[in-house]
Structures are given as structure tokens and as C-alpha cells.
Amino acid sequence: MTVTTPDPVPDPPLTAREELAAAQERLVRALVAGDEPPPGFDPARIAVAARALLNKRAGEVARAWPRLAAAHGARWPAAFADWAAGTPSRGAWLDGWGFARSRRAHLPPAAAAELAGCEAHWSYRPDGPPRRRRVAVGRLPGGVIVQVLGRAVVVRPRRSQLPR
Amino acid sequence: MSGVVAPPVDLGVGIGWRPDIAGFVAGLPGLRFTEVIAESVHAAHPADELLALRDRGTRIIPHGVRLSLGGAEPVTVDRVSHLAECAELLDAPLVSEHIAFVRAGGIEAGHLLPVPRTRAALDVLTDNIRRTCAELPVPLAVEPIATLFDWPDQDYDEAGFLTEVLARTDALLLLDVANVYANARNRGEDPLDLLDSLPLERVAYVHVAGGSERDGLYHDTHTDPVPNEVLALVSELCARRDPPGLLLERDGRYPPAGELRAELDAIADAAGLPHVT
């Protein structure tokens, strides 16, 4: 006896492992990507946990970008969290770099120099790993940074010679 | 498998090794064991201070934080190999990891997340622990985490879930009394209930850490002093069964050395052990 199956063929049921994978992904998205908490979770607690994860990220970024964090003083965790909320981490280095790029015009000299030092060696890409630069010239407070084949030099003209 | 018992060793009181406090750790005269975050160890270029501790006979336990034993994806060969490499390099008596997952669908959570206490998650966790143990040259101890929230619709309570994990595998238990305290407080439960239900003969060592209250919940921060309630739990645990060792975890906002020494002494006093400071 033949049985005709209706078209389209239904998807096979998810295995227990696949269901768990999907449930874990929904939870992670709620915690770090700004998605709604999955049904059944306490939304208030998920919000507190999401904030705790952002604070932890802020601490890790502060270690990778100490001058950037210092420039914000006690407001650093909140400033970083506001910027990073809803965006999953790309790692402390790239997170800090992305934050610094977003504040480029407002960075105090030490943080601006930290960013310039990074950008003298690496070129930022929003969707992929940074590319190493072979040659770069960048501005930093009071001078320029020149990098050739991995060696960077900061050139600070005397004040009278500063280009306007 | 249920006959597994933690080896009878006497590790005393220790503190987690971190680069920021390497000098403090090296200067503790009575220190017999420490722990290092496995992912921070560069197997080809390990920190000289760590090797010096190893060479003077301090037991060093590599403590992984990113294996994701509770993740739906099988553990990866490179992460397990790194743990094995750390164990060989540091002449470790065991390695430890967490009953947690840290990523899903290619997204990193950035910290340890709780596994749902369901049959499906238990199967996955058991599989991952077995895969890991099969590649390690030393025993694995697994640590239940602190969590700010719980999954809905769970099949087991925490003690039942942990007991089942341990019954199904050869893993030992890394019992974090600060996590026990944090979860009980945030769930409105009595932490002693969990201590009374766990197979304490499987405890390989114990974590102790500080925390603070924020947004109405207790956060296991590792950057605050150890509260008296956690020290009391150390005493309660030792009254039931003396663990092989107790280790203070401090991960930032380091206090002056005197305060850190006092904290180690307080743990030793709570456990009835000699000071290591």
C-alpha cells in the first residue's frame, strides 16, 4: 500500500540537542543582543543580568583601553554600557576601539593618543577582523604618528612649528 | 562511576593567581595551592611567576571559563587540548571548569550562563564532560555557577541535577560556597539545604569569593570583600565534611595586601585551618 505524503514535506522534528541550542541562543540574544526575554523568564531579572554582563564587558575593555576608560572616570561603566547595550561583544579590544571611534572628536589627549597608536598599526573593519597596516600616518594631540613596517614613531614639532 | 571520591589531599587555603597580584601570591609563606584562569595561560610562553610557583611545589589548578560544558554544541578539540596542555605544563593535580554555557548560535555571552536543569541539558552536559575527561591527563572538577535568574520549566532542583551529573560521570565537584550563598539568597532558599543534599565526598576543592547587592539582587562580583554569611557557610561545610582545600577568588579592585591577607586568614579560621599568610 502506498501513502502519498502531502507537499511540502514538513521539517523533521528538532532533536533535543537542537531544541536546547535554539533555547540557549534565544536566551543569549535576550541578554546581549537586545531581544525580548524568551517566554517564562523573569524579564526584570534578565534585565539585571544583561546590565551585569555590560558592566563586566566595561571592565574588560578598560583593561584593553586604559586611557579611554580613565578619560571617563567613574562614569566609564555607564558610558560604555549605554554604547554597547544590545550589541554582542566582538572582544574587548574591538569593543573599545568601536567605542573610541564613536567618540573620536571628544576624546581627551591621552585617550586620543591611545586610539591613534592603535590605528597606526591596524585598520578597523566593522564586519571583520582588523587588517594590519604596512604604512600609516595619523594625527594625535600635538603631533603625528608615523608607522612603517610595524615600527611606529611619534613626531611632535616644537610648538612654533605646529601646523595650523 | 558513583564510587568516585575526591583524592585525600590537604591543599589548605589558597588564592587564585592573577597577574595583578602575582607578587602577593608568591609572597605567601604557607601557600600550597593556587588556580590560574586556563584561557590566560599562553602554553608556549607561560608567565615566569607561575612556573616559579610550580617549581617550588605549589599545586596549580588550571581553571577554564570558556569551554561551555553546558552548551548544546559539543566541546571543541582545541579548547579541551588547551586545558590538557595547561595541566601538563603546570604539573596540575586536576583541572576545573563550570556547569554553564558561555555562547550560543555564534554569539558570546561574555560570562557563565546557567544551563536549564532539564533531561535534555543533562544529556548534553554529560556528553561534554565525558568528552573532556577522555582527553585530560588529570581529573576534571566541575563548578556550579552563581546565577541571577533561572530557566522556567525545569525537571530537577539544583541538588538533584548536580547529583545526577556526578553520578553519570567521573567528574569531581568544585563547590563554590559564594555561589551557593548567592543563589540561595536570590531564590529565597536556605543555602544549608543544598549543602545537605550534595555528595560532599566528591568535592575536589572549594571556592570562596566576595560580592555585593545591586538592583535588589546579590551579585557574585569577585571584586568585593567576602561577606560574613559566606564565611559562616565555609564553617557549615567544614562541619559536615572537611574539603581538600579552599581558594579565594579575587578578580579586580584589589585591596591593600593587608586586607587580602586578613581575608585569607578569615577563611582559614572559618575552616579551622592554619593561616597561610
Read off the pLDDT of residues B37-55 as tens digits, 9 standing for 90 and up. Answer: 999 999 999 999 999 999 9
Question: Cα separations (Å) of B56 from A29, A143, B13, B91, B264?
Answer: 46, 50, 17, 12, 21
- Asked whether the beta carbons of residue B110 and residue A51 sit closer than 8 angstroms, the reply is no
- Cβ contacts of B219 on chain A, cutoff 8 Å: 52
pLDDT tens readout for residues B157-176? 999 999 999 999 999 999 99
Chain A contact probe: residue of B149, B223, B224 with most A CBs at under 10 A: B149
- Cβ contacts of A18 on chain B, cutoff 8 Å: 72
Nearest C-alpha in B relative to A15: B120
Which one has a higher pLDDT value, B264 or A164? B264
pLDDT of B14 > 70? The answer is yes
Instruction: Determine the average pLDDT of the residues in B217-238.
Output: 97
- Cβ contacts of B116 on chain A, cutoff 8 Å: 20, 23
Instruction: Determine the average pLDDT of the residues in B23-48.
Output: 96
pLDDT of A2 > 60? The answer is no
First to last CA, chain A: 90
> Could you give the CA distance from residue B154 to residue B83 in angstroms, rounded to a whole number?
31
> Could you give the CA distance from residue A27 to residue A21 in angstroms, rounded to a whole number?
10
Per-residue pLDDT, B241: 97
* CATH number of the domain that residue B71 is part of: 3.20.20.150
Q: What are phi and psi of A52, to 5 degrees?
A: -65, -40
Tell me if B276 is assigned to some domain. Answer: no
Domain around B142: 12-271
Question: Cα separations (Å) of B125 from B171, B179, B193?
Answer: 11, 19, 24
- Asked whether the beta carbons of residue B72 and residue A88 sit closer than 8 angstroms, the reply is no
**Total number of domains constituting chain B:** 1
- Cβ contacts of A29 on chain B, cutoff 8 Å: 105, 107
Tell me if B7 is assigned to some domain. Answer: no
- Cβ contacts of B103 on chain A, cutoff 8 Å: 28
Q: Is the dihedral of CA B191, B193, B194, B199 positive or negative?
A: positive
pLDDT of A146 > 90? The answer is no
- Asked whether the beta carbons of residue A49 and residue B215 sit closer than 8 angstroms, the reply is no
Q: Is A94 on the interface with B (CB under 8 A)?
A: no
Maximum separation of any 2 CA atoms in chain A, in Å? 97
CA dihedral A20, A26, A32, A33 (to 10 degrees): 140
Chain A contact probe: residue of B65, B123, B126, B148 with most A CBs at under 10 A: B148
pLDDT tens readout for residues A76-123? 999 999 999 999 999 999 999 999 999 999 999 999 999 999 998 999
Tell me if B4 is assigned to some domain. Answer: no
Q: Is the dihedral of CA A114, A50, B211, B203 positive or negative?
A: negative
Q: Report residue B233 as a C-alpha cell.
A: 557557610
Closest approach of B66 to chain A, Cα-based (Å): 13
pLDDT level of residue A164 (50, 70, 90 thresholds): low
C-beta separation of B151 from A38 below 8 A: no
3-state secondary structure of B93: coil
- Asked whether the beta carbons of residue B148 and residue A56 sit closer than 8 angstroms, the reply is no
Q: To which residue does cell 568535592 refer?
A: B203
Q: Is A92 on the interface with B (CB under 8 A)?
A: no
- Asked whether the beta carbons of residue B113 and residue A21 sit closer than 8 angstroms, the reply is no
pLDDT of B274 > 90? The answer is yes
Arithmetic mean of pLDDT over chain A: 89
First to last CA, chain B: 38
Question: Cα separations (Å) of B134 from B61, B84, B140?
Answer: 18, 10, 10
Closest approach of B226 to chain A, Cα-based (Å): 19
Domain ranges of chain A: 18-107, 112-164
CA dihedral B239, B217, A53, B34 (to 10 degrees): -20
Tell me if B6 is assigned to some domain. Answer: no
Q: Give the least confident one: A16-25, A145-154, B101-110.
A: A145-154
Query: How many Cα neighbours within 13 Å face the side chain of A105?
Result: 0
3-state secondary structure of A77: helix
C-beta separation of A107 from A71 below 8 A: yes
Query: How many Cα neighbours within 13 Å face the side chain of A45?
Result: 17
- Asked whether the beta carbons of residue B107 and residue A24 sit closer than 8 angstroms, the reply is no
Tell me if B107 is assigned to some domain. Answer: yes
Q: Report residue B263 as a C-alpha cell.
A: 581575608
Query: Nearest Cβ partner of B110 from A16, A32, A46?
Result: A32
Q: Report residue B257 as a C-alpha cell.
A: 595586601
Q: How many CB pairs under 8 A join A and B?
A: 84
Instruction: Determine the average pLDDT of the residues in B169-192.
Output: 97
Q: Is B140 left (phi over 0), alpha (psi -120 to 50) or beta?
A: beta
Q: What is the Cα A103 distance to its own chain's centre?
A: 13
Per-residue pLDDT, A162: 53
Instruction: Determine the average pLDDT of the residues in B195-208.
Output: 96
- Asked whether the beta carbons of residue B107 and residue A23 sit closer than 8 angstroms, the reply is no
Per-residue pLDDT, B177: 98
- Cβ contacts of A45 on chain B, cutoff 8 Å: 148-149, 217
Per-residue pLDDT, A147: 85
- Asked whether the beta carbons of residue A31 and residue B109 sit closer than 8 angstroms, the reply is yes
Q: Is the dihedral of CA B79, B81, B82, B86 positive or negative?
A: positive
Arithmetic mean of pLDDT over chain B: 96
> Could you give the CA distance from residue B176 to residue B163 in angstroms, rounded to a whole number?
15
Amino acid in the structure at residue A154:
V
Q: Give the least confident one: A144-158, B84-98, B103-117.
A: A144-158
Tell me if B77 is assigned to some domain. Answer: yes
Closest approach of A160 to chain B, Cα-based (Å): 43
Instruction: Determine the average pLDDT of the residues in B118-145.
Output: 97
Counting residues of chain A whose pLDDT is more than 90, the rounded percentage is 67
pLDDT of A161 > 70? The answer is no
- Asked whether the beta carbons of residue A25 and residue B107 sit closer than 8 angstroms, the reply is yes
Tell me if B5 is assigned to some domain. Answer: no
Which helix or strand (DSSP H or E) is residue B14 part of? strand B12-17
pLDDT tens readout for residues A10-20? 777 789 999 99
pLDDT level of residue A3 (50, 70, 90 thresholds): low
Chain B contact probe: residue of A14, A20, A48 with most B CBs at under 10 A: A20
Q: Could you tell me what percentage of chain B is helix, strand and coil, using 3-state DSSP and rounding each to the nearest 5?
A: 40, 20, 40
Closest approach of B254 to chain A, Cα-based (Å): 13
Instruction: Determine the average pLDDT of the residues in B147-162.
Output: 97
Instruction: Determine the average pLDDT of the residues in B116-129.
Output: 97
pLDDT of B225 > 90? The answer is yes
pLDDT tens readout for residues B55-81? 999 999 999 999 999 999 999 999 999
> Could you give the CA distance from residue B187 to residue B196 in angstroms, rounded to a whole number?
17
Amino acid in the structure at residue A21:
A
Tell me if B221 is assigned to some domain. Answer: yes
Q: Report residue A46 as a C-alpha cell.
A: 534578565
Q: Give the least confident one: A88-97, A137-146, B117-126, B146-155.
A: A137-146
Instruction: Determine the average pLDDT of the residues in B248-258.
Output: 95
> Could you give the CA distance from residue B140 to residue B240 in angstroms, rounded to a whole number?
23
